[in-house]
Structures are given as structure tokens and as C-alpha cells.
Structure 1
Amino acid sequence: MAERRSLAMATLLHLSDLHFGAHDPAIVEALERHIDEAKVDLIVISGDFTQRAKKAEFEEACAFLTRVRESGHQVLAIPGNHDIPLYDVLRRFLSPLTRYRKYIDETLCPFHELDGVSVLGINTARSATFKGGSISHEQRDLIRDTFSKTDTAKVRVLVTHHPLFALPTGDGGELGAPVDHQDEALSEVAELGIDLLLAGHNHLASSSANALVHGSGRALVVQAGTATSTRVRGQGQSFNRIEIEPGKVRVTIEQWSGTRFETGDSQCFVQRGEHWDLVGGPEATPVLEKVAQ
């Protein structure tokens, strides 16, 4: 592992699974207030802006993003599987992300550089599957080419909608499927020394209670819950605040209380050699010990 010089800390807000069309307007309003007050360097949204990829849903999502950007925040956004039409078969296979490109972002694999942190988003949504995701050979090349050109002293963050690992979905403790070509993708992650993997999709947040942040080799895996959707899976709406500095990451859950977002569980991880150690927090739950094996 390359020795890293001291760099300024960066703070991310990690949102996911907004699901406009199946959202709670009161939570959206509270989320915007929270964002307006937050002092962060980048807002990362890891997919599923809409419920059924309808025009009206994208318009609502676009209006939300416009307000966030006009308040002075940078945003890195990627699509999710719900941002591809489900029942409009022609659009699903002929122009699956046309509305996403029009209303959210023309770029499907965006890249942002901050002081001390490099963040790359990769689109894992595919027309041929309803829930599953994939990382193509071309996207793996993009990951390698992008991070190979970044300063090795910077913390490297890869964002996908679908988790690279099989993680709990909330449905009776079952594990969801990892992305297709998982082994190849994780090989790139290991070789490039990527530090953080951010994802959503499962509507379950990283927290000390659920331990959905865990050390897996070099990369620290961070899951976001659903920020504004009414489709919850055993947890309320939430998002992550991630404070990053070389060799140290703090992940804090901002949890919906019914009237506002309040600070919840917080975990601090320190990088020691090729692994992340949880400092001053509970051990991983048995289900994640199973995942890590």
C-alpha cells in the first residue's frame, strides 16, 4: 500500500433510493432542509431516483436536484434499476436511460475529484434484468483508467447502485445477489487499492446495529438505506454522512424520526495495513461474518 501524505478531510452525504413516485413529500422537504444546513463537499446519490422511470417522476427528481444544486452543492449521481422503464418494453430495450440522461445527468459514469478524495460512479443498471446489476468489461477498463490517473495519496471511492457483494436485503435475512462479473470487478478494486465502495439498492443502511459497514480486504463497504421512499425494509428512511481522511473514515447515519432527520449510529474505521478496523464499536453481526467469508 502506497504511503499517503496528509490531505484535507472531505465530507460526503451518501443518499440512495429516492424513488420519486413512491416518496413521502414531507421527508423530501426535510431532506432538503438538512442538505441546506449541511457543510459537505459532495452529495453522492447511488441510484433509483424514480419508482417506475415515468416522465412525471423524473421531473420531480429533476426539480429536487435543481434545488440542491442551486443551494450550492455538488452532486454525483448514477442510475439504478428503477430508473429503467419496467412496463414500457420498447423504451426499456431501445432507449432505457434516455429520460435519466435528460432529467438527471447526461453522464452515466461521473467522476469528481475533491481535496484528498477521488470519487467515480459506475452505472450497474441493465435492461435485461429487473433487479440485478452488472459491471461490463468496458466499465472495468474505465475504473482502471480513471483511478490509475489519480493521485495515489487520495482516498479512492467507487459508487455503484447494486452492491458488489451479496448483502442482506431485509427479506427474512436473505442475501441479495451480487453484481454480475463480481470476481472481475473485485479484482480491479483490489489491484487499484480502492478504499470505499458505496452502494444502495437494498434499502438497508450501514449502522452499528445492522453492521452493514464491514472491512472486506482493502475496501470498506458502505450501504445507504432509502432516503425518501415509502418502501422500507425493516428500517426507516435514512442516509449516510461520511467523513474521510487518509486512513480514517467515519460513517454516521442520519435517520428519519417522523418529523426530521436526526443523527443516529456512528462508526469510525481506521485503516491498518490492508484492512479497516472498527474503532470503539460493536463487532460485525453473524450474518455479515457469513458474508465476509
Structure 2
Amino acid sequence: MTRIFHVSDVHFGREDTEAIEWFDRKVQEEKPDAVIMTGDLTMRARAAEFEAAGKWLQSLHVPVTVEVGNHDLPYFNLFARFFTPYKRYKAIERMIEKPLDVKGVAVVPLKTTARFQFRTNWSKGYVGTGALQKTLALAEAVPAGDLIFIAAHHPLIEAGTRATSMTRHGRSALDALAQAGAHAVLSGHVHDPFDVAHEVNGRTVRLIGAGTLSKRTRDKPPSFNEVRIAGSSFETVARFKGEGAVPL
């Protein structure tokens, strides 16, 4: 069985130290095949926050891919946001939007953040044409028979959580990804875990969201997801700090 730990929204700067230490122990004890981090590593994209995040990810000693969250774009420095938004990611540059091949599972990145949007709340999701085409090309190149997991920060459509993503072009992107053979879209942003099925032209795509390891919890305590894969089937288990595991 292949096991992937799906973690999100750690928010260094507002991180829950005990939750991170708990997650680290689980990684070291259980040795998952990979870790998918779906964004918001930091709270305000400050250099010290990225430094702490980079040390944390490098200490896991398993294959890792990282998506960029809206909190990972410079918040106060608009020049940096528009012209050098990823400069502070240098310590973990090789992990950013890195496709992974893990024992019959292809993890394909999809960028859902934007430096600017024509609406007041730039924290919400956005799927651009270029980003989608890049992801579709990677998905279509996956060997036949392998599962395709798309990794993004924002849920492409709403999944019934208290927080929302309001991802522009998300539904059409989901339809296109389903057509390209995607089996699941893994995301974060809303700080509560979920696993819901979405039907697209007779095909089922699972929408899987991870909770948070920060102090910014919503309806659920700090958690991460464990995705268990056996052949062509998979299940998601939410692992809650201090409260055990719950199948989603």
C-alpha cells in the first residue's frame, strides 16, 4: 500500500508548534511515501517565516512537493508581490510545484494563486489559462494505469466547509482535469478536512481538502490527511492531533 501525507496551511508565524511536532513524529515513525503540502506555508510571506518553513520541510526526509498559497505571496510589499513574488522561496525552490511519481501515483501541480485579481479579495482562488494548460499537459503524459492526483492550494469548487475558496474558473478547470484523467484534486485553504466526490460526464473526481497545523483552526482541531492507495482505489483518513483518525 502507498501512503501519502497531505498537509496544508501551516502558516509559519502563526504555527501550532505542538501540532507540527506531532506531524513530524508521525512522518518519522510511519515513513510515508511522500508529503504533499498544498500551500500557505507562511502567514505574511516574511523572510524569517520562509526560513523556518524551509528548515521544517527539509527535515522531513521524504519526497515533498509544495504548492504556493495566497499567504505565501508578499502581503505588505506590493512591488515584491508583483515583480518578485517567489524570491523568498529560494531555500525550497526545488520543491515548489514539483511533479512527483510515487508507486503508481502521479502528483501534478496546479497553480491557483494570483498576484492580482479584478476583485477586492485577492486571497481567493484563480485558475489561469496558462497554469491549467501546463497542468493538463503533465496529466496527459502520465502513464496509463497510474492514478493522477492534482495538487492545488484552493479547492476548485466549494466543498461545504465554513470557509470558502470562490475559485474563478475552478469549475471549468475541474471539468478539464476530469477529461484529462484526474482521479483527485488535493487542496487546502479552508482549514478543515473533506473528501467529496464530484461527477463529470460520468467520471468521478474526488475533491480532498486538508486541515491546518496552525493556530488558525476553524471547525476542526489541527490535522493532516493520510491518503492510502491500493492499486486503483484510495481512501482518505483525517488524522487529528489528540483525537485519532477519522475516515472521510
**TM-score, normalised relative to structure 2:** 0.91
Match of 1:112 among 83, 93, 100: 100
1:25 aligns with 2:34: no
Percent identity between matched residues is 28
**Alignment partner of 1:45 out of 22, 34, 37:** 37
1:168–1:202 Cα contact (<8 Å) kept: no
| Equivalent position to 1:263, from 214, 237, 244 | 244
Runs of 5+ unmatched residues, structure 2: none
Alpha carbons 2:109, 2:135 under 8 Å: kept = no
Distance 1:27 1:154 in 2: 33
The question of whether the paired residues in 2 share the 8 Å contact of 1:77 and 1:105 is answered with no
Which of residues 104, 107, 114 in structure 2 aligns to 1:126?
Answer: 114
Q: Does the 8 Å contact 2:154/2:167 carry over to 1? A: yes
Aligned to 1:141: 133
* Aligned: 1:190 with 2:178: yes
Query: Corresponding residue for 1:94?
Result: 83
Residue 240 of structure 2: SS of its match in structure 1? strand
User: 1:109/1:63 Cα in 2 relative to 1: closer, same or farther (>3 Å)?
Assistant: closer
User: What secondary structure, in the 3-state scheme, does the structure 2 residue paired with 1:166 have?
Assistant: coil
1:57 matches 2:43: no
The correspondence for 1:12, drawn from 4, 11, 31, is 4
Deviation at 1:108, TM superposition (A): 4.1
Q: Which runs of 5+ in 1 are unaligned?
A: 1-8, 207-212, 268-293
Contact 1:111 1:120 survives alignment (8 Å):
yes
Residue identity opposite 2:70 in structure 1? N
Q: 1:254 aligns with which of 239, 243, 247?
A: 239
Measured in 1, the distance between the counterparts of 2:165 and 2:22 equals 32
Deviation readout 1:28-77 (Å, 9 max, x if unpaired): 222211111113111000000000000000011011012112xxx11111
Inter-partner Cα distance in structure 2 for 1:144 and 1:93? 26
1:202 aligns with 2:187: no
Asked which structure has the greater CA Rg, the reply is 1
RMSD of aligned C-alpha atoms?
A: 1.6
Of 174, 194, 197, which residue of structure 2 is paired with 1:215? 197
CA distance in 2, matches of 1:167, 1:105: 30
Q: Deviations over 1:193-251 (max 9, x none)?
A: 21011000000112xxxxxx11111211111000x210111211000000113332121
* Letter of the structure 1 residue corresponding to residue 86 of structure 2: L
**Is 2:180 the partner of 1:230?**
no
Counterpart pick for 1:239 among 220, 224, 241? 224
**Segments ≥4 residues shifted beyond 4 Å:** none
Separation (CA, whole Å) in 2 of partners of 1:183 and 1:235: 26
CA contact (8 A) 1:167 1:177 kept: no
Count of equivalent residues: 240
